Structures are given as C-alpha cells and as structure tokens.
Amino acid sequence: MTYCVGMMLDKGLVMMSDTRTNAGVDNISTFKKMFTWEVPGERILTVMTAGNLATTQALVSLLDERTKAPEDREPSILSAPSMFQVARQVAKTLKSVIATHADEGQRADSAFNATVLLGGQIKGSPPRLFLIYPEGNFIEAGAETPFFQIGETKYGKPILVRAYDPEMSFEEAVKLMLVSFDSTVKANLSVGLPFDLQVIERDTYKVAQQCRIAADDPYYLEISTSWGEALKSAMDSLPSFKF
Amino acid sequence: MTYCVGMMLDKGLVMMSDTRTNAGVDNISTFKKMFTWEVPGERILTVMTAGNLATTQALVSLLDERTKAPEDREPSILSAPSMFQVARQVAKTLKSVIATHADEGQRADSAFNATVLLGGQIKGSPPRLFLIYPEGNFIEAGAETPFFQIGETKYGKPILVRAYDPEMSFEEAVKLMLVSFDSTVKANLSVGLPFDLQVIERDTYKVAQQCRIAADDPYYLEISTSWGEALKSAMDSLPSFKF
C-alpha cells in the first residue's frame, strides 16, 4: 500500500508521500514515490504515485526520458502548454504502461494498476492538482474538494476533513498532514516512514521547501506522542453523554 | 456497508451499531442490526451484524427460533454453558446459512457473507466479546485488543485507538463511540443514523441501558458540530512545524 496527500492552499500546494512498498507483509522496501520536474521561473510539476511499483517506475522513467531530449521525444511534460495537458500526457502514459503488462496474462489487469497525484503550476495559470486513474482519466481538485489522497486513504481522512482550512500556512498544513499520516501508519503496516514532503509556493515556479521526515525525526515523534493526549483533551472538552 | 463497535471496559460492555443497509447508493433502507437474548440474572447475549442482510436476518431468526422452544430445538444459545459455546453455535449457524445460498450459483460465495460481533456474559464467567467470521471461526477480544469493529472500520478507528481507556465510564465510552461513528458517517454514505446503543454492566446479566440515537438527537448534533472545533484546538495545541 501507500499513502500520499496533495493539498491545495491559498498559498500554494503541499505534497506528502510515504516510502513503503510491500509484496506481502514479509517483503517490505523503501522507495521514493515523489518526483519533480522544474523549469525554474516557468513551471513546476510534481507527481506522487500509488500502486504497482513496476508500473509507477516505468511511468516516471518514461516521463523523465522525454524531458531530457525534448526535441526528439515528444510529447514532453516540460513543453505541454497547460497543467491540463500535462495531466493528459501523464494519464496516457500511465494507461499505456498498464496496458503493456496487462496484455501478457490473464487476471493481471488490476494487479498492474497505479494511481497518480499530479500537482504543479505553469506560468500564466494558477496551481492545479489532479488525481489520475489507471484507466487514463482524471479529476481536478477544486474549492469543495481541495485535497486528494491515494493509497490507504481512510484512516487519515477524518482529520483532514475536519481541520483543513484553505487559509492555513504551509507549516500548519504540514502539521495536519503529519497527524493524518501518523494515524495511517499506526493502523496499516503497509504505510511507513520516511515521508517525503514538498511545498510549492504559488507563482514561484520552483520547489519552495523539500525534505524527508525520518522515523526518528524529533518533530514527528513529538507529534505522534502528543496527538494522543491532544485527542483525549479534545474528547474531554465535548459535553458528557447522559443516559 | 455497516458500522458496529463492541467495546470491553472494566465496567462491562458497550455495543453500538448503525442501521443503514444499501444495495447501491440508490437503494438504502433502515434495518436493526443489534439483537439481544436475556435470561435475567443468568445471561445476556447481544449480537451485531454486518454483511448480506438476508444472511444476517436468517442467522438471527434461526438463533431466535431455537431459543423459543429450547426443549425441541437444540442447540439453543440460551442453554449453552459458556460464551465460547454460544460463539460456536452462532458461528456454525452463520456458516451454514452462507453455505445454503452459496451452493446455488457461481461467484456468489462472498456476496452472501456476513460478520458478527457477539458480546455478553453468562453467570460464573466474566463478560466476553467475540468477532465471528463468515468462515465460521472467530476471535476473542482481550486486554491488548479490547474492542472490535465490523463493516466500515477504517475511518472511525484512529480515535478509538487513541482515546480508549478500559477504566472509562459508560458515558465516556458512548461519547467516544459517537465521535467514531460520526467520522464514519461523514465519510461513507453507506453508514447512517439512527444508531442503536446498548450497555451491559458487568455481573448484572441484563441490559443496563438501551436506546436509539436518531439523526436529530440534540446530543449527537452537538458532538458532531463541536468535534470539528475540538479537533482544531487539538491541532493548535501541538508544537508548530518549522522548515
């Protein structure tokens, strides 16, 4: 499994992904699931992936190769005129990678599936965030649904729904995401640290902040341990039930 | 879908179930999923069900018919000597109901499945709580895992994990459960009010409290609206992230 969240704020985008992959609980590994392409001052594109690792690595390699020799290898996501066109290219590439492997055998269709979050901004348009399905279609975040999750989405969703605020600072958004990730990690062994974090500030067209949060990160440990107490206090603050 | 929680406290058992059943999002109904058999002063048995409604209703009807003419229709859960033997009877009945229908057609195996929570106490033994699988086997709650969920378990789990305390009062447990149910209802349309609530106090062998919490219940509405604020305060109480 996997857990990735992409969140649109008034100030820009915050993206966070875990790094655990597993083939059964007895075979876990650490792989990066967040990938970025930049043309400083013109565009910033970040992809996060969930699903079959062979599929997502092939997708990222294909997208990457095309950016390195754009004159020969169209279409490149670095030359697409809009975020919508970038999403179409990513979606088409994803669908074709899955189709390549699904052709080979029976019952293999869903096993090769993957889902992608694409966030970024191209000069002249606002930041945009897309959720791309293995079928090659996609949806875009908006004011009513300003964040997307992929992978193990359920454990970490209630806190996002309740505490999200489009006006929050990047620091507050990271804190909120860490609580959401911590709830997920505690419930699903197939989601694990370290986490990759990236912030894209509106109208800067570059990575504003990027870091990896390790399992022994003091801030993460503090959040993880104090959240239990904070929740108990929140419960205490609610009115009491009477039979 | 469904959401039911059975929780073991030092003081006894608390059980809560939703009442929504659905066949697609365009066909929802309200059905009771909590059923109780009592021999006052000797035993109290409560069953909560998730899964195929025809299966769970057949299960409850079979269990119920046998209790009404126990001399003719052995085995009855009212004459079983222990909670473990009650669990075996429920499990065996459940498995046989599923098998009856699964015989009839192809691919129908999992569609007829159901899962059961069984809680109660028989004089001479402590209260016990079981999670019974459609395969007819079951597990029992203990000090390390003092509550079970069935149905849509994920959205409501993090708060239970964090805020559960075996020493809590029944009132506190109900408050905690309502928060867990509220998070689930807000995320999954196939879980819905009203909720059925039952409290079994240790060594009383009868229902201590029982009520139905409707969608317009003032206490529920207060919890539902104030939990968002309480969570935001809890988030604010955590230390701030710094890049």
**pLDDT per residue as tens digits for the range A155-165:** 999 999 999 99
Mean pLDDT over each residue of chain A, to the nearest integer: 94
**CATH superfamily, with its number, for domain B3-236:** Aminohydrolase, N-terminal nucleophile (Ntn) domain (3.60.20.10)
Per the document, the length of chain A is 243
3-state secondary structure of A223: helix
Contacts of A180 (CB under 8 A, 6+ apart): A5, A156, A157, A159, A160
Residue A130 to residue A139: CA distance in whole angstroms: 6
Smallest Cβ–Cβ distance between B155 and the set A154, A186, A242 belongs to: A154
Name the CA dihedral angle for A57, A7, A170, A144, rounded to a multiple of 10 degrees.
170
Which residues 20-49 on chain A approach chain B with CB closer than 8 angstroms? Answer: none
- If you measure CA to CA, which chain B residue comes closest to A165? B232
Q: CATH top-level class for A3-235?
A: alpha beta
Residue B91 to residue A41: CA distance in whole angstroms: 65
Instruction: Say if residue B3's pLDDT is above 60.
Output: yes
pLDDT at A105: 61
**At B61, is the pLDDT very low, low, confident or very high (cuts 50, 70, 90)?**
very high
Mean pLDDT on A223-231: 94
Q: Which residues on A lie below 8 Å from B234 (Cβ)?
A: 227, 230-231, 233-234
Q: Which residues on B lie below 8 Å from A233 (Cβ)?
A: 234, 237
Q: Is the CB of B238 less than 8 angstroms away from the CB of A219?
A: no
Where exactly are the structural domains of chain B? 3-236
Q: Is the CB of B241 less than 8 angstroms away from the CB of A183?
A: no
Instruction: Say if residue A75's pLDDT is above 90.
Output: no
pLDDT at A106: 55
pLDDT at B104: 65
Instruction: Say if residue A130's pLDDT is above 90.
Output: yes
Whether complex ipTM tops 0.90: yes
Does A225 touch chain B if contact means CB atoms closer than 8 Å? Answer: no
Instruction: Say if residue A189's pLDDT is above 80.
Output: yes
Smallest Cβ–Cβ distance between B171 and the set A219, A226, A241 belongs to: A241
Inter-axis angle of helices A218-237 and A170-187, to 10 degrees? 90
Percentage of residues of chain A with pLDDT beyond 90: 89
Q: What is the interface size between A and B, counted as CB pairs within 8 Å?
A: 124
pLDDT at A209: 96
Instruction: Say if residue A83's pLDDT is above 90.
Output: yes
Distance, in angstroms, between A91 CA and closest chain B CA?
A: 27
Residue A164 to residue A179: CA distance in whole angstroms: 12
State the best of A11, A14, A235 to mutate against chain B, taking most chain B CBs within 10 Å: A235
Mean pLDDT on A18-46: 95
